[in-house]
Amino acid sequence: MKFSNCETGVSLVMHATLHEDLVQGARNACRICLSVKEGERVLVIADLGSLNIARAFAEVLGEIGAEAIPLVMESLVERPASHAPAKVMELLPTCPVAIYMASPRPGELNSRSDVILYVEANGTRYAHMVGVTEQIMRTGMRSDYREVDKLSDRAIEIFRWSTEIRVTSRGGTDLVARFDPRFKWVKTSGIIGPSLWHNLPGGQVFSVPVDIEGVLVGDGCLGEHFSRKYGDLSKCPVTVEMHKCHIVGVECVDEPLKEEFLNYVHTDENSDRVGEFGIGTNLGLSEYIGIMLQDEKVPGLHIAFGKPYASQTGADWDAKTHLDLVTKDCSIWADGEKVLSNMKWLI
């Protein structure tokens, strides 16, 4: 079989030995998360590192009777790309469904943001799978997303009325975050509708706090290009002290990592500001793998510094960067009520 399209000139030979478990993850994404229908055009934006995964999606789209429109980033633009390639923006209006699976590169946030702004404004069902790996396709992408969605609904109902959330972890995280109803809690469970975009694997709820005081021990992993470069941070956690939602101190035994982290979170005046307070709701995950795309969905806390996704949260500020940091093995209290204990939901 070939993953091909005459519009894009892309033809990728399907290996006969393509693992069925990759196809199962793609089937979950296409049939359950994106509800792809027969005859729909699906834009699949891949890179050279994600071709096997693209082939798995092609297999499933063929089963459904949908048309795959493949694009490979390296054939469109020199990377890192400061903006979305022209071919991507040309084809998006012709596709009601889109999937982005290319790995992150330093400086490409604006490129991905171009796609996100389009899909939010134009009703595209969009799966944001930046940096997805075959391991993730075999694990997180095989979760029961209907059950993840139900839990995410319950979590939203609790947090949307909470004014104060406390988080502790075995590694030393101890912080209190405060919230205001004018900033929305957002559900990205993996069930994607028109004008919605979710990371896949899905399973989180998030908002923008108005205040955070305390310490976040990032012993999980970092987002963006840091995830692939540094992986699991268990042996070199990034410990961040926060005051009034801004970073006021950073400690890490890995000096190059510390320096790179500090440089990134001082890109602009809001890069060191907490722009996302995210809580994982993917019941199918119980282990960390050192990759942000999946680890932020494990039941627990991740915090992102920078861009607050204002179009979804209602935040009244913005930033040029967005960098997530996972803390492992959390317990969480909402207005004094314990809702999560060492990665186990109590709701």
The domain locations on the chain are 2-141, 144-345
282 touches 297 (CB < 8 A): yes
SS3 call for 237: coil
Which amino acid, 254? D
pLDDT at 20 over 90: no
pLDDT over 60 at 271, yes or no: yes
pLDDT of 195 reads 74
Span 61-67, average pLDDT: 97
Please report which confidence band the pLDDT of residue 65 belongs to, taking 50, 70 and 90 as the band edges: very high
Is residue 13's pLDDT more than 80? no
> Residue 196: which pLDDT band, with cuts at 50, 70 and 90?
confident
pLDDT greater than 50 at residue 226 = yes
For 221-256, letters b (16+ CB in 10 Å) and e give bbbbbbbbebebbeeebbbbebeebebeebebeeee
- Which pair of tokens denotes residue 230? 């540094």
- pLDDT grade for 99, boundaries at 50, 70 and 90: very high
Distance (Å, rounded) from C-alpha 301 to C-alpha 325? 9
Instruction: Decide if pLDDT at 306 tops 90.
Output: yes
Residue 283, CA atoms < 13 Å, CB-side half-sphere: 13
Q: Both tokens of residue 241?
A: 């002290």
Architecture of domain 2-141: 3-Layer(aba) Sandwich (3.40)
